[in-house]
Amino acid sequence: MSETVKKFLYLNRKAPYGTIYAWESLEVVLIGAAFDQEVRLMFLDDGVYQLTTGQDTAGVGMKNFSPTYRTLGDYEVKNIYVDKDSLEARGLTQDDLVAIAWEDWETEEEIENIVEVVDAARVSELMEESDVIFSF
Amino acid sequence: MSILHTVNKSPFERNSLESCLKFANKDDPVLLFEDGVYAVLKGTSAEKQLEAALAEQSIYVLGPDLAARGFSEDRIIDGIEVVDYAGFVELAANNDKVQAWL
Amino acid sequence: MPIEVNGNTLETDEEGYLANINDWVPEVADVMSKEDDLALTDEHRDIINFLREYYEEYQIAPAVRVLTKAVGKKMGKDKGNSKYLYGLFPYGPAKQACRYAGLPKPTGCV
């Protein structure tokens, strides 16, 4: 087995429920977490809608998968980024988004919320420094 | 002859809403559902477009799709009416045709 | 193969997981474990209940290493290790315990 840790960036650009992309991406992230790689998630364009709080799908007969994002910390995802311009264009702020906690189980180091709002330059930089980009 | 226009795509991803508002007659109702509901929220880059249309025609949004996406009715632009599935059916029945802007 | 629990017939998928999570009652675990020749103890039930709570909160069945860590955090390090969990559920703690708990097969399990 190779010891090389690669940087994986999952780039999410679609709203949940209207299409299957958001759920598919989340499933791949959860499955991919079994491999020891450095996993980062980026939400931009309509992808930012995946993280809104208060989703209630009872009326539309679909599975509400928004609570699952809160497990990502348990799945060794340590970095989640949201594009600032995408939020602003949609009248949203970080307060509209779910908080995702992370904890190192060995050292008990804790981060209360790993969701970070970043500017466009940082988005480009994160894409640039990733070894692999998965697009959804 | 009246037409119910429906839009189920996000205004930030496709031009379905833009085309709908461009071609729909002013007395025809417009219903937003599925990802189309993102257009009715306050403070977005689509707000002006919606408000201009609202001055001339009725705009409806499907409540269950709004709730699924995490938005309550106090987040939507004033003057837009929230309907349930029965209201959707009623709108379709009360108009001669339905044009779906996919 | 459907299973009989408390006089009710419950649908399962081809791998024996309940077709409908809401069909679950504690006796489902008794019936399924009996078919596997496994004597169910309170230690088993603790893990099964833990999985149900996890699913309730996050809407997924955790992968085995996430389960191991989460059990360790909630119930102590002596239980949060694969030796203890495989001792209880020899067919794999995530897969077998999830089945007894009426959850779908964990995402990422092959």
Q: Which residues, in sequence order, are bridge partners of residue B52? A: none
State phi, psi for A17 to the nearest 5 degrees.
Answer: 75, -45
Count Cβ atoms below 10 Å from residue C57 Cβ, excluding itself.
12
How far apart (Å, rounded) are the C-alpha atoms in residues A4 and A13? 28
Give the SS3 label for residue B75: helix
Nearest to A60 by CA among A3, A115, A16: A16
> Does a structural domain hold residue C34?
yes
What are the pLDDT digits (tens) for C12-63? Answer: 998 899 999 899 999 999 999 999 999 999 999 999 999 999 999 999 998 8
Residue B4 sits at the vertex; the CA angle it makes with B3 and B5, to the nearest 5 degrees, is 110
The mean per-residue pLDDT over the stretch C77-88 comes to 89
Nearest CA distance, A127 vs chain C (angstrom): 26
Cβ-based neighbours of A4, under 8 Å, separated by 6 or more: none
Q: Could you give the residue ranges of the DSSP H alpha helices within chain A?
A: 21-32, 84-89, 120-128
* pLDDT of B45 strictly over 90: yes
pLDDT of residue C63: 86
Amino acid at the residue B65: D
pLDDT of residue A5: 86
pLDDT of residue B37: 98
The mean per-residue pLDDT over the stretch B36-64 comes to 97
Q: Could you give the residue ranges of the DSSP H alpha helices within A18-134?
A: 21-32, 84-89, 120-128
pLDDT of residue A2: 57
Domain ranges for chain B: 6-22+29-101
CATH of the domain at A102: 3.40.1260.10
CATH of the domain at C88: 1.10.10.370
How far apart (Å, rounded) are the C-alpha atoms in residues B30 and B20? 8
The mean per-residue pLDDT over the stretch B32-48 comes to 97
Nearest CA distance, B1 vs chain A (angstrom): 31
pLDDT of residue B33: 98
A15 touches chain B (CB under 8 A): yes
> Does a structural domain hold residue C106?
no
- Range of C26's domain? 3-100
pLDDT of residue A109: 87
Instruction: Please name the residues between 58 and 97 in chain C that touch chain A, using a CB distance below 8 Å.
Output: 58-60, 62-63, 65-66, 69-70, 72-73
Number of domains in chain A: 1
pLDDT of residue C106: 79
Partners of A58 on chain B (C-beta within 8 Å) are 67
pLDDT of residue A3: 67
Residues lower than pLDDT 50 in chain A: none
Give Rg (Cα) of chain A. 15
> Does a structural domain hold residue C95?
yes
In this prediction, residue C92 has a pLDDT band, given cuts at 50, 70 and 90, of confident
Give the SS3 label for residue B29: coil
pLDDT of residue C110: 45
The better pLDDT of the pair A31, B5 is held by: B5
CATH number for the domain whose boundaries are B6-22+29-101: 3.40.1260.10
How far apart (Å, rounded) are the C-alpha atoms in residues A18 and A38? 29
Partners of A27 on chain C (C-beta within 8 Å) are 107
> Does a structural domain hold residue C40?
yes
- Range of A128's domain? 7-135
Nearest to C67 by CA among A41, A75, B60: A75
| Cβ atoms of residues B58 and B30 within 8 Å | yes
> Sign of torsion, CA B84 A61 A12 A67?
positive
Nearest to B33 by CA among A69, A26, A59: A59
How far apart (Å, rounded) are the C-alpha atoms in residues C10 and C19? 8
> Does a structural domain hold residue A1?
no
> Does a structural domain hold residue A2?
no
The mean per-residue pLDDT over the stretch B7-24 comes to 97
- The per-residue pLDDT of chain C, averaged, comes to 89
What are the pLDDT digits (tens) for B59-77? Answer: 999 999 999 999 999 999 9
Nearest CA distance, C74 vs chain A (angstrom): 12
Partners of B44 on chain A (C-beta within 8 Å) are 89-91
* DSSP category for residue C12: B
How far apart (Å, rounded) are the C-alpha atoms in residues B46 and B28? 20
Number of domains in chain C: 1
Cβ-based neighbours of B24, under 8 Å, separated by 6 or more: B3, B5, B30, B57, B99
